[in-house]
Amino acid sequence: MFRNITIGQYIPGDSVVHKLDPRIKIIITFIFIVAIFFINKISGYIFAVFYLYLVITISKIPCSYILKGLRPVIIILLLTVSLNMFFTPGGTILYTLGPLKITTSGLRLAVFMGLRLIFLIIGTSLLTLTTSPISLTDGIEHILKPFSRIGVPAHELAMMMTIALRFIPTLIEEAEKIMKAQMARGADFESGNIVKRAKGLVPLLVPLFISAFRRADELAVAMESRCYRGGQNRTRMKQLKIQPRDYEALAVTLIMVLLIVWNRVWTW
């Protein structure tokens, strides 16, 4: 149930994608997310698929492992596709099911929204799978550092975001242990309707929240005992330096964006 969640997990490696500067990877991910919403034709998604396939191949991460991260959100994907398919008017009516109608516009929008969600999940998963938590913290902090002049706590925000991502695998592992312990005592999490399954999760959520608060308190005590005082006057053993490969990766991403924009303009 929880083993398929890949967001927040990091797979060590020595590929080119792993060695990219975290700032560049964050910027590339943001550009990719924005570019996805510019696509309005299937040919545009072909460019995005080719780009993702290229990144996955270079990163040497198994494609099956990345696709496994789509299983926890399959219900959200089906719900999004169904709502857009049955409640989007316009176009030719293809099928009628009582008051519900499937039109060409609804079917087109449903396919596009489903593909957007899939690409968003895969793109963000690649960022966390190929970037260590420490590098991700440094990258976010450097990007937010210009906003510190107007009072934005860049280091604190970066630390909170990274800790949140870092604790996702830990909480998943804790949930698995609690679930197995409850099932050994006769708890049932898989049978029955949605309401019954939701009620069955109560014995899981209560100890999971208690464990999360306990871990947060232990982390706060550990940071305080090490005299952690935020980002002021802190030094780093490894300084971030942009290499030529970072510019090459950014150039490839911009080429993909230009192809998507050209495809959209050409459609107009």
User: What is the DSSP-derived secondary structure letter of residue 103?
Assistant: E
| Packing angle of the helix pair 22-36, 244-267 (nearest 10 deg) | 10
Question: What's residue 251's pLDDT?
Answer: 92
Q: Are residues 165 and 197 in the same domain?
A: yes
In a domain, 186, yes or no: yes
What whole-number distance in Å separates Cα of residue 26 and Cα of residue 123?
10
Domain span holding position 61: 16-131+242-267
User: What is the DSSP-derived secondary structure letter of residue 146?
Assistant: G
User: Which residues make beta-bridge pairs with 95?
Assistant: 102
One digit per residue, pLDDT tens: the chain, 268 residues? 555 566 667 888 888 998 899 899 999 999 999 888 888 888 888 888 999 999 999 988 888 888 877 877 788 888 888 888 887 777 777 777 777 777 888 888 888 888 888 998 888 888 888 888 778 888 888 888 887 778 777 777 877 877 877 777 778 778 878 888 877 777 766 666 666 666 767 777 788 888 888 888 888 888 888 877 766 666 666 777 888 999 999 999 999 888 888 877 775 5
What whole-number distance in Å separates Cα of residue 254 and Cα of residue 31?
8
Q: Are residues 162 and 215 in the same domain?
A: yes
Assign 3-class secondary structure to 151-194. Answer: CCCHHHHHHHHHHHHHHHHHHHHHHHHHHHHHHHCCCCCCCCCH
Q: Are residues 37 and 158 in the same domain?
A: no
In a domain, 191, yes or no: yes
Type and span of the H or E element at 49? helix 42-59
Model pTM score: 0.76
Question: What's residue 31's pLDDT?
Answer: 92
Q: Are residues 167 and 199 in the same domain?
A: yes
User: Which residues make beta-bridge pairs with 96?
Assistant: 101
User: What is the DSSP-derived secondary structure letter of residue 14?
Assistant: -
CA distances from 47 to 26, 44, 247, 260 (A): 20, 5, 20, 7
Q: Are residues 110 and 197 in the same domain?
A: no
Question: What's residue 153's pLDDT?
Answer: 78
In a domain, 119, yes or no: yes
What whole-number distance in Å separates Cα of residue 262 and Cα of residue 26?
24
Q: Are residues 254 and 218 in the same domain?
A: no
CA distances from 124 to 53, 237, 257, 268 (A): 14, 27, 17, 30
Q: Are residues 96 and 194 in the same domain?
A: no
Q: Do residues 13 and 229 make contact, with C-beta atoms less than 8 angstroms apart?
A: no
